[in-house]
Amino acid sequence: MIMKATMLPALDLEKLSLLINQRYGLEFRQQRLKLLQEAIQERMEACKISTIDEYLQLVQQQEDELLLLINLLTIHETYFFREPAHLAIMSKQVIPRLVKTGKHLPFLRLLSAGCSTGEEAYSMAITALTIPGAGIDWDFEVIGVDVDKEAIKKAQAGLYGLYSFRSCPRDIRENCFDRIAKESFMIKSHIKKKVRFESLNLFAQVYPDWTQNMDIVFYRNVAIYFSKEQQQEVFRRLSELLKTDGCLFLSCTETLYHNNKLLSLVKNNDAFYYQKQAAETFIGRAAVTREITAINRQCLTADQPRQIAALQLKKPSPKPALPTDRSNLTTSKRQSPLPLAAKSARCQQRFTAALELMKLKKYPEAISRLDEILAVDSFFIKAYTLKANILLNLQCVDTATELCQTALMLDTFCLEAYLLLGMAAKLTGQQAEAIKRFKEAVYVYPECWLAHFFLAEMYQLPEETPYAKREYELAMKILKQGNFEKHGLSFFLVPFQLDNFIQLCQHNIAKLQAYDH
């Protein structure tokens, strides 16, 4: 990426940020404005435009140019059979139920919203074709939609490299794809004809007619780009596309954000999805709220006995469910609540104490202080992430993961939660999940050198060498600017000094370059 030293005027950045937000829903916070500036400068150079005023005029007149800019600002991270629990529910429960209740020779319509280069849409088709009677007793089509027209072209081609199969069972790759070259695979024609791809902006004022009457919608790992209000608007519009009994699947960290009178939340083991109810069987907003609150409570308290045993605590400290109204928060003894300023100051004091206890490796005492904070203010996000940090040190990965997911429910842009989720996945050998989380951390805060460094470490396949080299270079560049403290964690056990990290990046880059030769 070509970057210029001169800063673009803040007012012009704000204009472009607002334009992108209004048309495509992407939200830019202060820490992401530098990424926006770099993308604008790259496109200005490509278009041979010298002033920001000219470029502003161009993107206002040419939608394709605005889309090219947006493509530099989003994460193109997808692969076959991502979050397979949803595909299992779809094939074993949802589709059989819809077929059973449908008319003679039912025809099901499946939508992959935000399909990128098509791996999710094809995964849905492959899964549907394994269900008895597919194409004979019942039939279906999958429609993949994305705002990125170049991604749509790649999806339509159906040609994929090895990296797209990093979480795909080997037998599926062998049975559903034709090998075109050593590391290149083409989706088989009988699967390809079940899927079509269309360009669609989820923030378009009107959706095309062909989006109506869907039986199943997958809308996963897209909402990170949107504010909570915009997430809820897209969720509402997608829910309206569903037929009665149709189902909407979101990613695990997005599922509990939403409350919609059209849909009810369904729990299936450790996975969740939404189902559209007939008018006479509406659960109603209040019932859905109670269900979500109960699930929040369950998520927050799950695995607590094991955590307590690991920490050798005498008794657990209660963890409150996420409240729906901040004004209802009271002290744990239900006495008159403290004034807001006093409560905030006391929580901050306890957090500082917990941080010092963690540095001394007095983990049970630190967790006790954090539980005291959450008993008073369950919106104190740093308490969740610091507790997750401690639990990762103690190898309590499941509970740490749940705490990070709770933090993301409160703030979609919580950098620390994404970093810790990436570290948890790295710790348990989930390479694809770790890459996804570290990329999300980079999206939230491009200056986070630690996320770049971890990303480089996670790129281990030969074809990933250019990606690893690029991430080490980005980490090194940020470190050379003196931004060592921008690692993104409240407490980070740094094994090296700044110069050592720079030397480590240089050593790894040299090693990767040697592999290329």
**Can you give 290-332 as a three-state secondary structure string?**
HHHHHHHHHHHHCCHHHHHHHHCCCCCCCCCCCCCCHHHCCCC
> In the CATH scheme, what architecture does the domain 84-294 have?
3-Layer(aba) Sandwich (3.40)
pLDDT at 493: 61
CA separation for the pair 464, 170 (Å, rounded): 19
Long-range contacts: 451-455, Cβ < 8 Å, 24+?
451/418, 451/419, 451/422, 451/488, 452/478, 453/501, 453/505, 454/419, 454/422, 454/423, 454/426
pTM of the model: 0.63
Asked if domains 305-411 and 412-517 share a fold, the reply is yes
Strands 107-113 and 139-146: parallel
Host H or E run for residue 208: none
**Per-residue pLDDT tens digits for 329-376:** 333 334 445 566 677 888 889 999 998 998 888 989 999 999 999 988
pLDDT at 6: 59
Per CATH, domain 305-411 is 1.25.40.10: yes
* Amino acid present at 480: K
pLDDT at 75: 67
Q: Measure Cα distances from 169 to 142, 172, 174, 327, 378 in Å.
A: 21, 6, 9, 49, 40
Would you list the domain boundaries of the chain?
A: 10-71, 84-294, 305-411, 412-517
pLDDT at 515: 63
351 φ, ψ (degrees, to nearest 5): -65, -45
CA separation for the pair 53, 9 (Å, rounded): 10
Class of domain 412-517: mainly alpha
DSSP 222: -
pLDDT at 190: 96
- Reduced to 3 states, what is the DSSP secondary structure of residue 245? strand
pLDDT at 322: 46
pLDDT under 50: residue ranges of the chain: 1-5, 256, 280-336
pLDDT at 507: 86
- Reduced to 3 states, what is the DSSP secondary structure of residue 360? coil
pLDDT at 104: 66
pLDDT at 513: 79
Is there a contact between 471 and 453 (Cβ–Cβ < 8 Å)?
A: yes
pLDDT at 143: 98
- Residue listed under structure tokens 């399909």: 115
